[in-house]
Amino acid sequence: MKKFLLYLVLAIAALGLITNLDYFMGMIVNSLIFLLVLGLIMYGIYYFFILTPSQRKYRKALRKSKRKYRKMNR
């Protein structure tokens, strides 16, 4: 009888864990999406409102240069 009660409690706990896992995974995914969007917005503000046009041109040229030399070294 004690084993039956133990297995019953474990089964109910497992069922509860599985049903709540879906809820918590949804919360984690929503949080990660929110952080990603917030980071993109912050980067956009930094890139378009804080950097000067000459700094933007320099960064663009630097990315092109890195891409060019990365392909040559392979």
Categorize the per-residue pLDDT at 20 as very low, low, confident or very high, splitting at 50, 70 and 90. Answer: confident
Using the predicted structure, report yes or no on whether residue 37 has a pLDDT greater than 90. Answer: yes
Categorize the per-residue pLDDT at 74 as very low, low, confident or very high, splitting at 50, 70 and 90. Answer: low
Categorize the per-residue pLDDT at 47 as very low, low, confident or very high, splitting at 50, 70 and 90. Answer: confident
Using the predicted structure, report yes or no on whether residue 38 has a pLDDT greater than 90. Answer: yes
Domain edges within the chain: 2-73
Cα(50)–Cα(42) distance, integer angstroms: 11
Cα(20)–Cα(12) distance, integer angstroms: 12
Q: What is the DSSP letter of 38?
A: H
Cα(46)–Cα(38) distance, integer angstroms: 12
Scanning 1-74, the segments in alpha helix (DSSP H) are 2-45, 53-73
